[in-house]
Structure 1
Amino acid sequence: MKALVLAGGAGTRLRPITHTSAKQLVPVANKAVLFYGLESLAEAGITDVGMIVGDTAAEIEEAVGDGSEFGLKVTYIPQDKPLGLAHAVLIARDYLGDDDFVMYLGDNFIVGGITGLVEEFRRNRPDAQILLTRVADPRAFGVAELDASGQVIGLEEKPDRPKSDLALVGVYLFTPVIHEAVRAIEPSWRGELEITHAIQHLIDTRADVRSTVIQGYWKDTGNVGDMLEVNRTVLEGLPRRIDGDVDDASETIGRVVVEAGARVVNSRIVGPVVIGSGTVVDNSYVGPFTSIAENCRITDSELEFSIVLRDSSILGVGRIEASLIGRHVEVTPAPSVPSAHRFVLGDHSKVQIHS
């Protein structure tokens, strides 16, 4: 059994971070989202991975390499444009051959991995198996409709009027039957080959399509709010570990990880928090659900419920919360300026000013 991991796409919902970085490499608890998925595949006993890459291919390849660090063998498959999930299956046909495979969206996060799901698929071997989860607003997702017996009878992509609250999670399992289905469908109104349309084709041709409603935690980390929420969830499970230097004037409370080479000086750290190697936290407060990557500097500041990427500094700016701060960022106080108003007003204008 192989895996097809999707690591392309523009990541528009995470801009400006993704103007200069692949969305799948934005870190959660100081580890790229993509790496959690690769580890899940390895734990499920899958070793051969085809990775769909786009404009950020060089960065993805530098981070993942040949996959040996994860116990995998990775083959890169370029996609000129993000033309849909079914298009990814289409262009991976030669790599996948006649093997069953897992398709895993590289920016999705599932607590607990997929080992049980893969074992179930191998045991029963339906033509396709999809993961579903209940969501508050299914209009942003592919949505499944089930009959009274739990059988999948229909799928819709981002419907205006969803027929259920069951959204498709970004993990799918297929036999080679899916290759015929992706060749049979036409692009959607978005100009993409939708995997929901391909699975619907399987349903219409009476193929065996099964679903599993997951009870665990799942997130599509496509926006800042979801990234912060996944970061919170992962940090809650980290054991306390102080490998770096924490001076006697500092206090660490709860699940705090200070990596080797990091320093905490005259500061208060309230977990869950992770502080990366080479980072210095000086005369500051770092509060719950915060991850600070390597080689950062936090001085005379307060930080909570945030993600700070590597080589960034936050110096004397008071309190920051619910923020995603990119690489090589400098956050400093603005210079004081006299309070004044400037106007260019047309004839007969009326202006009210609150002093």
Structure 2
Amino acid sequence: MKGIILAGGNGTRLHPLTKVISKHLLPVYDKPMIYYPIQTLEDIGVNEILIISTERDLPLYQKLLENEEWGIKFYYKVQKEPKGIAEALILGEEFIGKDPFILMLGDNLVISDSFNKHVKQAFSNNDGATIFGIETNNPSAFGIAEIDGDNKVISIDEKPANPKSNIAVIGIYIYNNNAVNYAKQLKPSKRGELEITDINKMYLEQQTLKLFKIEDARWFDTGTIENLYEAASYIKSLDK
């Protein structure tokens, strides 16, 4: 099984902490942030991971991971500029090949006893794309999925001013290898990025998009000081 972790970007919301180091190397309680998505992928059976980051930070990931006892083979790829999550699919084309894969954002932490089991089942049953949603109090800050009574996706909007629901699409995506060709068809959004929401819309148009709604987990987007602190405090409380 293959996985990609996107650990690039400038981390501007965490300045000055991230002026000289990637946010995904910052500690979340007693581990670097990137350890959490790596552990999730290892737990569901992924044994090959491509880490995508900046030219500045990639050697640090190599040094961090080279002597750790993961049951995983790591690959590395430079993202020269933060051009959007969907660019990871283009950068990972050679790594992906013809295989299905799971893409994770390095700053998304999901803490749950059962979540990894759900992800593994979703990977096994995926025939297009599977995304994961969780209710949020701040829907205008995320990609938002509108669903019907059977959890079938009706629409997806990126950071909507007038959200149609409060179900945030979190940074874990399961795709077949059609995702690479879809990414190549994208044009940059108004933000100048290749939006992962547009990839999901393509699967939605083909009626091959599934959503798994998470009910029993804590989710942290650790891209802000407040959320980074909250995640560390929560993990510390579990540890104690």
TM-score greater than 0.5 by the shorter chain: yes
State the match for 1:71 in structure 2: 71
2:102–2:175 CA contact under 8 A, matched in 1: yes
State the match for 1:9 in structure 2: 9
Q: Which amino acid aligns with 1:4?
A: I
| Cα shift at 1:126 | 2.8
CA distance in 2, matches of 1:153, 1:59: 41
State the match for 2:237 in structure 1: 236
- Structure 2 vs 1, CA of residues 22 and 186 (structure 1 numbering), >3 Å: closer, same or farther? same
CA distance in 2, matches of 1:70, 1:14: 28
Q: Which amino acid aligns with 2:222?
A: T
| Cα shift at 1:61 | 2.2
CA distance in 2, matches of 1:192, 1:122: 27
| Cα shift at 1:90 | 1.1
State the match for 2:100 in structure 1: 100
Structure 1, unmatched stretches of 5+, are 240-355
State the match for 2:213 in structure 1: 213
State the match for 1:20 in structure 2: 20
Is residue 2:87 matched to residue 1:90? no
State the match for 1:167 in structure 2: 168
Q: Which amino acid aligns with 1:100?
A: P
| Cα shift at 1:139 | 0.7
| Cα shift at 1:177 | 2.0
Is residue 2:67 matched to residue 1:61? no
State the match for 1:262 in structure 2: none
Most deviating of 109-118 and 155-164: 109-118
- Structure 2 vs 1, CA of residues 186 and 116 (structure 1 numbering), >3 Å: closer, same or farther? same
Q: Alignment partner of 2:82: what SS?
A: coil
Aligned residue runs from structure 1 range 127-142, under 5 A: 127-142=128-143
More helix by share: 2
1:25–1:32 CA contact under 8 A, matched in 2: yes
| Cα shift at 1:205 | 2.7
Instruction: Please identify runs of 4+ aligned residues in structure 1 that moved more than 3 A.
Output: none
1:139–1:162 CA contact under 8 A, matched in 2: yes
| Cα shift at 1:155 | 1.1
1:138–1:162 CA contact under 8 A, matched in 2: yes
Q: Alignment partner of 2:98: what SS?
A: coil
Count of residues in Structure 1 that have an aligned counterpart in Structure 2: 237
CA distance in 2, matches of 1:140, 1:72: 33
CA distance in 2, matches of 1:22, 1:62: 14
CA distance in 1, matches of 2:107, 2:64: 15
CA distance in 2, matches of 1:122, 1:232: 31
RMSD after superposition: 1.5
Per-residue CA distance 1:213-245 (angstroms, 9 max, x = gap)? 112000010011001110111011114xxxxxx
2:49–2:74 CA contact under 8 A, matched in 1: yes
1:22–1:59 CA contact under 8 A, matched in 2: no
State the match for 1:181 in structure 2: 182
State the match for 1:36 in structure 2: 36
TM-score, length of structure 2 as denominator length: 0.94
CA distance in 1, matches of 2:53, 2:124: 31
TM-score, length of structure 1 as denominator length: 0.64
CA distance in 1, matches of 2:124, 2:10: 36
Q: Alignment partner of 1:18: what SS?
A: coil
In percent, how many aligned pairs have the same letter? 31
CA distance in 2, matches of 1:5, 1:119: 17
Q: Alignment partner of 2:34: what SS?
A: helix
2:142–2:158 CA contact under 8 A, matched in 1: yes
State the match for 2:147 in structure 1: 146
| Cα shift at 1:107 | 1.1
Aligned residue runs from structure 1 range 188-207, under 5 A: 188-206=189-207
CA distance in 2, matches of 1:15, 1:222: 10
2:146–2:154 CA contact under 8 A, matched in 1: yes
State the match for 2:159 in structure 1: 158
Aligned residue runs from structure 1 range 189-338, under 5 A: 189-206=190-207, 208-215=208-215, 216-239=217-240
Q: Alignment partner of 2:170: what SS?
A: strand
- Structure 2 vs 1, CA of residues 225 and 122 (structure 1 numbering), >3 Å: closer, same or farther? closer
